[in-house]
Chain A
Amino acid sequence: RKEVEQDPGPFNVPEGATVAFNCTYSNSASQSFFWYRQDCRKEPKLLMSVYSSGNEDGRFTAQLNRASQYISLLIRDSKLSDSATYLCVVTESTDSWGKLQFGAGTQVVVTP
């Protein structure tokens, strides 16, 4: 079983709509959680960290559910520029240095 699992999509979203997707992780002791965005043929870039209380950054909202071991990302009022692959990232629990485990990504396609 993979440590971090994501629905690969694609999620086809009309411009202006809301899209949400989850990521599950297997290691209950994971401490840090992130969402990264990766555009085609580019490097991943940090979108936001995910905190226990949930957090919001503009149109993006991230939630953490430790009991069920998943994190979620919600994008409101989708823009064409939101089209990308979204990577779910968690720390390995046994590594105090914080080596990260990456999911394979969820592709989002925003259409006009």
Chain B
Amino acid sequence: DGGITQSPKYLFRKEGQNVTLSCEQNLNHDAMYWYRQDPGQGLRLIYYSQIVNDFQKGDIAEGYSVSREKKESFPLTVTSAQKNPTAFYLCASSIKGARHGYTFGSGTRLTVV
């Protein structure tokens, strides 16, 4: 079955550490997105990519980095510059135009310890 897979499901980060969240899709979607969700709040766009080897900053890109070397993969690195990284991170993908909406992965819950 086609889908979008995020790993790990839970991740614990120490202060000052960089961590990378994985996102892989086999839906042949061109566009991929990373969102952050804080408790009781809506989704905020971190980065998005509409084509391989190209990506754009979203509304809250500071402290994050991404790469898009393959169509299927869009990993997100949470760097030590991100001061408040504890959140629920969601990866999504879509066809161009998103006329069928987005398909989301099941998310990664990141906690700073």
Contact-size category for B: 20 to 34
Query: A97 contacts B50, CB within 8 Å?
Result: yes
Task: A97 to B30: give the CA distance in the assembly, Å.
Answer: 9
Stretch binding the partner chain, chosen from A34-42, A56-64, A67-75: A34-42
Task: Tell yes or no: A46 within 8 A of B by CB.
Answer: yes
Query: A43 contacts B101, CB within 8 Å?
Result: no
Task: Tell yes or no: B14 within 8 A of A by CB.
Answer: no
Name the CB-closest residue of A to B50: A97
Known: A36-B101, A46-B101, A104-B42. A97 touches B88 (CB 8 A): no
Shortest distance between the CB of B74 and any CB in chain A (Å): 14
Query: B42 contacts A42, CB within 8 Å?
Result: no
Query: B31 contacts A98, CB within 8 Å?
Result: yes
Query: B107 contacts A43, CB within 8 Å?
Result: yes
Q: Which of A34, A44, A91, A104 lies at the interface centre, i.e. has the most chain B CB atoms within 10 A of its CB?
A: A44
Shortest distance between the CB of B105 and any CB in chain A (Å): 6
Query: A100 contacts B42, CB within 8 Å?
Result: no
Known: A102-B43, A104-B41. A97 touches B104 (CB 8 A): no
Task: Tell yes or no: A109 within 8 A of B by CB.
Answer: no
Shortest distance between the CB of A111 and any CB in chain B (Å): 20
Task: A97 to B33: give the CA distance in the assembly, Å.
Answer: 12
Interface residues of chain B, those whose CB is within 8 Å of chain A, are 30-31, 33, 35, 41-43, 45, 48, 50, 88, 90, 94, 96-107, 109
Interface residues of chain A, those whose CB is within 8 Å of chain B, are 32, 34, 36, 41-46, 49, 87, 89, 91, 96-100, 102-105
Q: List 27 A-B contacts (CB under 8 A).
A: A32-B97, A32-B101, A41-B109, A42-B106, A43-B90, A43-B106, A44-B90, A45-B104, A46-B103, A49-B100, A49-B101, A87-B42, A89-B101, A96-B96, A97-B30, A97-B50, A97-B97, A98-B31, A98-B99, A99-B31, A99-B33, A99-B98, A100-B94, A100-B101, A102-B35, A102-B42, A102-B43
